[in-house]
Copies of this chain bind each other. A is one copy, B any other.
Amino acid sequence: MKKLINKPENFVDEMIEGIILAHPDMVRTPGEDKRIMVRADAPRKDRVGIVTGGGSGHLPLFKGYVGAGLCSAVAIGNVFSSPSSDQIFQATKAVDGGAGVLYLYGNYGGDVFNFDLAADLAELEDIETLTVLGRDDVASQPKERSADRRGVAGIIFAYKAAGAAAERGDSLKEVAAAAEDIIENTATMGIGLSPTILPTTGKASFDLPDGEMEIGIGIHGEPGIHRGALETADEVAERLMRPLVEDLGLSSGDRIAVLVNGMGATPLEELYVLYRKVHRIAEELGLTVEKRYVGEYATSLEMAGASLSLLKLDDERLALLNAPASSPFFREG
């Protein structure tokens, strides 16, 4: 194991302590539990709050997207484990400014269970909540079962759009609709080249022989749709992009946002080599890339690999992406 950590059981709390020490002006913990983080100026009166969360091990997801024009709060669990319903509820109370709270997070069983319980607790205190689930991973379910797909890196488009809608004063229903609209028009496909090593056990989270790749892999190592010998970056770009174009029904003249996301260990250089081919395929198909993000936005500790997310744009979606935003890990405008 090649990890810069102390006791594995302290990994998550020490990482959070580091984030809070590094960014005191941008985030704070509302109470004793450091696993709940809110933007420094929360709660904001008459503005919809946005609470996200999930397991640790995906930085900048989730903690990195708490800030102006993004999420209002985050509750996180242990590595790859859901936060508790009480933590989510505490986060909810800390950001409720009277306009309701959107729960926006990835579609995983443990997270859904705990966020739903938190919604019940919030209702008892007259805090209105709505839920929108990230479910952009096209490899996890076919199109006709897209409601059951897992949520992966594409959720950052929804954070950005919902955050912008909340910032301008949209109602809870409107903020939820903006997030849902983004998610219905976002599709992601990943590729894994090496497994994640779990800090607590020092063991690989899944098995992937050297020199092989897995297309469609999830951010916790969930099985994909193809395993075989590692291909060239251009071939991989084709394998990632074609199913997304089909899934979103993209055709010549459409405008898109592109996210080439590193899973952790893959160098930024390789992400740009991938982006290059994605851009060329888009040109070939008559698609215009209006926004692009290349870097590490949702990782899986030190997994080598990448994911490609496409968002079909219209004027409203693009305006929401372009609105100002600022968090320790994300800046726009």
A-to-B contact residues, CB < 8 Å: 1-7, 11, 14-19, 21-22, 56-57, 59-60, 191, 193-194, 210-211, 230, 232-234, 236, 264-276, 279, 292, 294, 296, 299, 301-302, 304, 306, 331
Q: How many copies does the complex hold?
A: 2
A-B contact pairs, 27 of them (CB 8 A): A1-B230, A2-B211, A2-B230, A4-B193, A4-B266, A4-B274, A5-B233, A6-B233, A14-B233, A14-B273, A14-B276, A18-B272, A18-B276, A18-B279, A19-B272, A21-B279, A22-B292, A22-B294, A56-B269, A265-B304, A266-B302, A267-B299, A267-B302, A268-B296, A268-B299, A296-B296, A302-B304
Q: Are A22 and B232 in contact (CB under 8 A)?
A: no
Q: Are A59 and B273 in contact (CB under 8 A)?
A: no
Residues in B neighbouring A4, C-beta threshold 8 A: 191, 193, 233, 236, 266, 270-271, 273-274, 306
Q: Are B275 and A18 in contact (CB under 8 A)?
A: yes
Given contacts A4-B236, A18-B275, A59-B267, 15 further A-B contacts (CB under 8 A): A1-B211, A2-B230, A3-B270, A4-B193, A4-B266, A6-B233, A6-B234, A14-B273, A15-B269, A18-B271, A18-B272, A22-B279, A57-B267, A266-B302, A269-B301
The distance in angstroms between the C-alpha atoms of A12 and B292, with both chains bound, is: 20
The distance in angstroms between the C-alpha atoms of A18 and B193, with both chains bound, is: 21
Residues in B neighbouring A16, C-beta threshold 8 A: 272
Residues in B neighbouring A17, C-beta threshold 8 A: 276
Query: In the complex, what's the smallest C-beta–C-beta distance from A177 to chain B, in angstroms?
Result: 30
The distance in angstroms between the C-alpha atoms of A4 and B211, with both chains bound, is: 11
Most chain B CB inside 10 Å of its own CB: which residue of A194, A233, A279, A304: A233
Q: Are B210 and A2 in contact (CB under 8 A)?
A: yes
Residues in B neighbouring A21, C-beta threshold 8 A: 275-276, 279
Query: In the complex, what's the smallest C-beta–C-beta distance from A30 to chain B, in angstroms?
Result: 20
User: What residue in chain B is nearest A266 (Cβ atoms)?
Assistant: B4
The distance in angstroms between the C-alpha atoms of A255 and B258, with both chains bound, is: 41
Q: Are B270 and A267 in contact (CB under 8 A)?
A: no
Q: Are B1 and A269 in contact (CB under 8 A)?
A: no
The distance in angstroms between the C-alpha atoms of A3 and B233, with both chains bound, is: 8
The distance in angstroms between the C-alpha atoms of A230 and B11, with both chains bound, is: 16
Q: Are B302 and A59 in contact (CB under 8 A)?
A: no
The distance in angstroms between the C-alpha atoms of A192 and B4, with both chains bound, is: 10
The distance in angstroms between the C-alpha atoms of A232 and B56, with both chains bound, is: 20
User: What residue in chain B is nearest A193 (Cβ atoms)?
Assistant: B2
Q: Are B59 and A268 in contact (CB under 8 A)?
A: yes
Q: Are A15 and B210 in contact (CB under 8 A)?
A: no
User: What residue in chain B is nearest A10 (Cβ atoms)?
Assistant: B273
Residues in B neighbouring A306, C-beta threshold 8 A: 4
Q: Are B268 and A22 in contact (CB under 8 A)?
A: no
Q: Are A11 and B266 in contact (CB under 8 A)?
A: no
Residues in B neighbouring A232, C-beta threshold 8 A: 5-7
User: What residue in chain B is nearest A279 (Cβ atoms)?
Assistant: B21
Residues in B neighbouring A299, C-beta threshold 8 A: 267-268
